[in-house]
Amino acid sequence: MDIKLLALDIDGTLLNSQYHVSDENRRAIHQARSRGVDVVLVTGRRFAFALPVVRELGLQTPLICHNGALTKQTETWAVIDYYPLAAETARHVVSIGKSLGADMICSYDPEGYGRLVFESLSPESLRLRTYMPQNPIGLEQVDDLCSYIQDDPIQVMSTGTCERIDRLEAALLAELNGRATLLKTAYPHRDLSILDILAPQCSKGRALARLAERAGLRREQVMAVGDNHNDLHMLEFAGIGVVMGNAEEPIKRAPFYLTASNDEHGVAQAIARFILRG
């Protein structure tokens, strides 16, 4: 069956290690669209941080962001799908994280640009210390994050060394009893992990399945490309799941097709193999 919907992760997949869309990937996406294939970006990024990539590619399709907690129209910003995390659960998550010395951040404002609310950032949070000055809009520092959380947030997240995030993940799994979904993005070569805590019904795969259903598509008509743990549900849902060559070995050993790395235009190679030559 012909592919009608192509779902692409952004970081580590569509973007190379310099955080650019290569000319090869851009051309391949254009060719796929010219054949009637809709291209949708599916990312752990917040909406505003992913939107420039959507615009760079000239896409008019919805954007699945926050690892599936929020899906929005990219032109009108209208909310299509939204599953917030219960405030009580979010407070519990933040309390556990703080007891372990983790930096905890809440995301709010699904209808607008998006807000990141936090208390402080430790020296370990190099990624956030770099990101926040470059993306200052929507940042809010508070004295007590637990007290601040009265309304349901989009998600809670934390980032740090792989060991610290593994410890936090284990503690949350032991405490939450299914009240949240934990999705991890890990970069061991950089000793960096990101842990997203979302409502139980959230994942990239579930959001993609709902989007496909609205379009009247079967999973066999969907292709997905990703590189990390948080992409696994999406790859499992898709009729064709493709893993990047820069993924960790356990992910590459999963029963998906393998393409080249993000620095070798792996997205373009996958499109050529399964769409342009299909």
Each residue of 41-91: pLDDT tens digit? 999 999 999 999 999 999 999 999 999 999 999 999 999 999 999 999 999
Residues contacting residue 21 through CB under 8 Å, at least 6 positions apart: 14, 15, 53, 56, 57
User: CB within 8 A of 158, min separation 6: which ones?
Assistant: 97, 102, 103, 104, 105, 165, 168, 194, 195, 197
Q: Quickly state the pLDDT bin for 128 (edges 50, 70, 90).
A: low
- Residue 48 phi/psi, 5-degree rounding, is -65, -30
Per-residue pLDDT at 27: 98
Is the Cβ–Cβ distance between 228 and 185 less than 8 Å? Answer: yes
Helix (H, G, I), strand (E, B) or coil at 207: helix
Would you state the torsion angle of the CA atoms of residues 191, 108, 97, 136, taken in this order, to the nearest 10 degrees? 50
Q: Is the pLDDT of residue 129 over 60?
A: no
Confidence band, pLDDT 50/70/90 cuts, at residue 172: very high
| Separation CA 95–CA 149 (nearest Å) | 11
Amino acid 234 reads M
Per residue in 142-169, pLDDT tens? 999 999 999 999 999 999 899 999 999 9
The whole-number pLDDT of residue 130 equals 63
Backbone angles phi, psi at 160, to 5 degrees: 175, -160
Burial of 212 (0-12, 13-18, 19+ CB in 10 A): buried
pLDDT at 39: 98
pLDDT for residue 121: 76
Mean pLDDT in residue range 2-9: 97
Closest CA to 239 of 255, 252, 250, 223: 223
Higher-confidence position of 113 and 206: 206
Distance CA 16, CA 237 (A): 25
* Prediction pTM value: 0.94
Mean pLDDT across the stretch 187-198?
Answer: 91
Beta-strand relationship, 38-41 and 5-8 = parallel
Mean pLDDT of the chain: 93
Burial (CB count <10 Å: 0-12, 13-18, 19+), residue 109: middle
Contact 67, 41 (CB under 8 A): no
